[in-house]
Structure 1
Amino acid sequence: MTHHATATAADGAAIHYRILGAPDAPRRFALVHSLAMTGDFWAEVAASLPADCAVLAPDCRGHGASDKPAGPYTVEQFAGDLAAVLDHAGWDRAVIGGASMGGCVALAFAAGHRDRVQGLGLFDTTAWYGETAPADWEGRGQKGATEGLASLIPFQQTRWFGDAWREDNPEKVQAAIDVFLANDPAAYLETCRMLGRCDQRAHLAGFDMKVRIAVGSEDYATPVAMAEALRDAIPGATLTVLDGKRHLTPLEVPERIAALLLELHG
């Protein structure tokens, strides 16, 4: 069962979201997708959860069916959009999770809306992409904006998925490519710039919620060292390294991500 709705953000932007499962389910998860994906990213994770769970999954601003206003964007703004979606759905609290870009948003949400976070799941992500991040992300965004998003596909698909998984799951790989290519290049550029500026490190030591971190052992977008830095900075956080997986583990091993999310409801 999937329910679709649209919330209004603080600046008036329309933020589309879906709830996978019963909206009044007792165990609730609000999950934020990776860059250039949509809330459908979480469908297989949701399907791996028990029947008493529901997943709320927005299309972040600039993505999917949500509005794509002019930038600049910030992860704090995306976190505010998530709060507006939760309000619209009538959810006071939930386990908050995110993959890659979504993890950056989840960190910002946990920093700004701590009382609404039942637990925090951080997958294939980081609090800070490093000293060269602004230039690196600007270059990627500009390439997509000037040469077309299709010019990034060879780079993206080997970054997203392990070689064997790509060979065994061509339809799922193509589905991710199709979602990526449907993005608005200007919104993609602004989101890349947002990630280049993202730095949530100052908040981590103050987190007091349960935190689960996971990363693929072959992830070279947000490598294991970045996940280890998160684990070391957040009190009580645990890290799971998923052997042989790359950057989009919720697509490669949704059942493993679902199991980690369930630990956050304990």
Structure 2
Amino acid sequence: MTGQLRYDLVGQGGDRTVVLLHSLAMDGTIWRDFAPLLGPGVTVLAPDLPGHGPAPYGDPSSVESMADGVAELLRTLGMRDVTLIGMSLGGSVAQALTIRHGDLVGRLGLVDTTAWYGEDAPAAWAARAGQARERGLSSLAGFQLERWFTDGFRGSHGELCERLLEIFRRNDLDNYVASCTALGAMDLRERLERIAVPTAVVVGELDQATPPPHAQALAKAISGADLTVIPGCKHLSCLERPDEVVAALRPILD
């Protein structure tokens, strides 16, 4: 869509609205199998984050600018008091959106994500962006798959893995680099106390990208947040163990 973020809309007309924000270098289409699990009577909005998707739009230069882009879409569509669920980058954007545009968010789900990647983050994310520049996004395919899913899941879900890699390879290189730089610079820790909505935090036990201590820090900093660790699961737990993630999110979905 010219002039706004592209999005998928499922179950339009439901009495509750759930907004799903995807991980780095993915797009809103990754939620098509997950969205129906959220139950009847739910409108599900799955936008492409700024700088992502087949027709990238918006500013991916910071987590805050991505949050502002999603907030603009919600206001355009007349959506308020939404249940906002983000995975990985999407979870970081969801934190920033709730902090900056709290009037739009009624409940919050943070899956396999963090408020801060640590002191080495700028260098680590710069190295990943540099590899993409020098050797192309395809050079990161093996690294991504190994972090996304366990060996067993990759072995039994080859078609899904290849579909995700196709999305990954199609990314605009400049936008991918900008998004990596944004994650390296991100530090939302001091603002988490502003989040005052019911919050569920979920993480895969084997997540290497945002390990359980990151989720524990989020749950500790956000008043009243619940924490669930999915056993034997890696980074994209919404795709690897969707039923268990939905069960963990049920308090905010109901």
Identify whether the pair has TM-score above 0.5, normalized to the shorter chain.
yes
CA deviation profile, 1:63-82 (whole Å, cap 9, x unmatched): 1134356x671111111111
The answer to whether the 8 Å contact 2:109/2:200 transfers is: yes
Equivalent in the alignment of 1:16:
6
1:238 aligns with 2:226: yes
Structure 2 residue aligned with 1:86: 74
Q: Given the alignment, which residue of 137, 149, 154 partners 1:161? A: 149
Aligned partner of 2:25 in structure 1 is 36
Deviations along 1:164-200, whole A, 9 cap, x unmatched? Answer: 1111111111111111111111110010000001111
Uncovered stretches (5+) of structure 1, i.e. residues with no partner:
1-5, 9-13
**Hey, what's the Cα distance between the residues in 2 that align with 1:67 and 1:168?**
31
Deviation string, structure 1 residues 210-239 (Cα, Å, up to 9, x no partner): 110111111010001111111111111111
Report sequence identity in percent: 39
CA contact (8 A) 1:7 1:85 kept: no
Deviates more, 1:202-211 or 1:25-34: 202-211
Asked if the contact 1:28/1:54 (under 8 Å) is kept, the reply is yes
SS at match of 2:80: coil
**Alpha-carbon spacing, 1:249–1:179, altered in 2? closer, same or farther (3 Å):** same
CA RMSD of aligned residues (A): 1.5
**Contact 2:201/2:225 (8 A) holds in 1:** yes
- Offset at 1:7? 7.4
Say yes or no: does 1:60 pair with 2:44.
Answer: no
Q: Which residue does the alignment assign to 1:189?
A: 177
Identify if the C-alpha distance between structure 1 residues 59 and 208 changes in structure 2 by more than 3 Å, giving closer, same or farther.
same
Matches within 5 A, 1:1-266: 6=1, 8=3, 14-22=4-12, 24-68=13-57, 73-266=61-254
Given that 2:54 and 2:170 are in contact with CA atoms closer than 8 Å, whether structure 1 keeps it comes out as: no
Amino acid at match of 2:19: A
Q: Distance in 2 between matches of 1:45 and 1:72?
A: 25
Alpha-carbon separation, structure 1, partners of 2:106 and 2:206: 30
Tell whether the 8 Å contact from 1:7 to 1:84 is kept in structure 2 after alignment: no
Aligned in 2, Cα 1:7/1:236: closer, same or farther, shift over 3 Å?
Answer: farther
Farther-moved stretch of structure 1 (131-140 vs 39-48)? 39-48
How far does residue 158 in structure 1 lie from its aligned partner after superposition? 0.5
How many Å separate the matches in 1 of 2:2 and 2:69? 8
Structure 1 residue 202 displacement after superposition: 1.1
Alignment: residue pair count: 254
Unpaired runs of at least 5, structure 2:
none
When normalised by structure 1's length, the TM-score is 0.91
Change (3 A) 1:154 1:63: same
CA distance in 1, matches of 2:248, 2:7: 23
Q: Which amino acid aligns with 2:223?
A: P
What amino acid does structure 1 have at the position aligned with 2:174? A
Contact map agreement 1:104 1:127 (CA 8 A) in 2: yes
Question: Partners of 1:207 and 1:92 in 2: how far apart?
Answer: 16
Query: How far is the alpha carbon of 1:20 from its aligned partner?
Result: 1.7
